[in-house]
Amino acid sequence: MVLRLVGTVAGGVLSGVAEGLFLLVAVVSGFRVGLHPYALRLAEFERRRLGVEPVRFDARRAFRFLAARLLPAFLGLLTVGMLLVGLVLAGIVVHAVAVGEMSVVGLLEQILFGSALLLLDLQAMASTVALDRRLLRTLLAAGTREELERRITELTVSRAGVIDAVDAERRRIERDLHDGLQQRLVALGMLLGRARRSPDRAAELLAQAHEDAQRAIDELREVAWRVYPSALEHGTLEDVLTMVAQRSPVPVRVTYDLVERPPRPIETVLYFVACEAITNTAKHAGATVITVRLSPGVRMVIGDDGAGGASLDGSGLRGLADRVAALDGRFELDSPPGGGTTIRVSLPCG
């Protein structure tokens, strides 16, 4: 119990130093957007370190909390320093007793005095941890009413966005069917007609018709995959992403660390996010490699070493963000010009 308390305070001191340096960099850079993901990670680290229940927060609250917790970090430094001084004094007392320079009465006085200081120091440490947790709950987590209003707004916006995304996807499928598959089937019908009218070339034309039919089947399968990945009915998300990676013109490295299979709606959203991100990178980013990592807690990170500069203004990424938000998840895009693109998705486990 005591060792855990001391470890928590000491960890808070070390993290406070790192957070102080991070805030200094943030102030100098004008709190640029590229630093927001790191602020969220630091705040999430503090939540886990302090053992506080999960809360939802944005970058603004994260920066505010990190600035406020410099106070408990400083107080923790004082309490840890007092403990170290006490240990040094205890060593001096032990040495004095060993060489016979301290009487029994003096030893009892030192024990009483040291015990009192140790109890006060431990109480100060406990108060510092309590202050840290109170700051986290007060500054990092939104109030009940504010959180409810925020979620209602997000769900309203995401619902409208999902409807727009579905309409856009329907139009794209219609265009693919009309411009691709329909034209290929018309050409296939004409080819069969020629084979019927030209018996001497029937074998050659039928062989060509067979190849065109196979291409039409492949195109139809591609369109069907955009509607719903049927492979998820028979395989895992890892299997499907591996297939997507093998078909990508840009090398894709998939790391799958999920222990349990996510629910079907979450698995489907992860699939669509990965496919859209890989497709966008292959078409526009000029990247040489794409990485897809899924980690416990249903978190997915997709990164590339391309040109960057992606934004949520386009319908593709905006539609993905709305899909994630519809499941009460978090979608983050970090794509500085010339610095590659990173997409982070976090979804509830169940």
**219-275 pLDDT, tens per residue?**
666 655 555 566 677 778 888 888 888 888 889 999 998 888 888 888 888 888 888
| Residues 75 and 10 reside in one and the same domain | yes
Last residue of a domain, one of 125, 141, 157: 141
| Residues 131 and 79 reside in one and the same domain | yes
Please give the angle made by the CA atoms of 28, 33 and 162, to the nearest 5 degrees. Answer: 170
| Residues 45 and 172 reside in one and the same domain | no
| Residues 195 and 293 reside in one and the same domain | no
Q: Where are the alpha helices (DSSP H) in 177-314?
A: 183-197, 202-227, 231-234, 237-247, 264-280
Report the length, in residues, of the chain: 350
Q: Is residue 155 part of a domain?
A: no
Q: Is residue 200 part of a domain?
A: yes
Q: Is residue 160 part of a domain?
A: no
Query: Which tens digit of pLDDT belongs to each residue from 155-178?
Result: 665 565 555 555 555 666 666 565
More confident position, 143 or 95: 95
Question: CATH number, domain at 299?
Answer: 3.30.565.10
Q: Which of 93, 45, 87 is nearest to 66 (CA)?
A: 45
The answer to whether 78 and 9 have CB atoms below 8 angstroms apart is: no
| Residue 149 pLDDT greater than 80, yes or no | no
More confident position, 112 or 63: 63
| Residues 116 and 190 reside in one and the same domain | no
Specify the pTM: 0.46
| Residues 187 and 264 reside in one and the same domain | no
Last residue of a domain, one of 141, 176, 205: 141
Distance CA 102, CA 65 (A): 49
Average of per-residue pLDDT across 298-313: 84
| Residue 181 pLDDT greater than 70, yes or no | no
| Residues 220 and 245 reside in one and the same domain | no
The answer to whether 335 and 300 have CB atoms below 8 angstroms apart is: no
Q: Is residue 149 part of a domain?
A: no
Q: Which domain holds residue 63?
A: 2-141
Pairing relationship of beta strands 341-346 and 299-304 according to DSSP bridges: antiparallel
pLDDT value at position 293?
92
Beta bridge mates, 252: 290
For 101, the token pair is: 């320079």
| Residues 26 and 117 reside in one and the same domain | yes
Q: Is residue 147 part of a domain?
A: no
Last residue of a domain, one of 186, 211, 227: 227
Integer angstrom CA distances of residue 184 from 194, 208, 308, 348: 15, 12, 36, 43
| Residues 113 and 93 reside in one and the same domain | yes
Written as one letter, the residue type at 52 is V
| Residues 322 and 248 reside in one and the same domain | yes
The answer to whether 60 and 127 have CB atoms below 8 angstroms apart is: no
Q: Is residue 156 part of a domain?
A: no
| Residues 241 and 319 reside in one and the same domain | yes
For the chain, how many structural domains are there in total?
3
Share the mean pLDDT of the chain: 78
Instruction: Place 179 in a pLDDT band, splitting at 50, 70 and 90.
Output: low
Q: Is residue 146 part of a domain?
A: no
Burial class for 93, CB neighbours closer than 10 Å (0-12, 13-18, 19+): middle
| Residues 329 and 244 reside in one and the same domain | yes
Q: Is residue 151 part of a domain?
A: no
More confident position, 184 or 91: 91
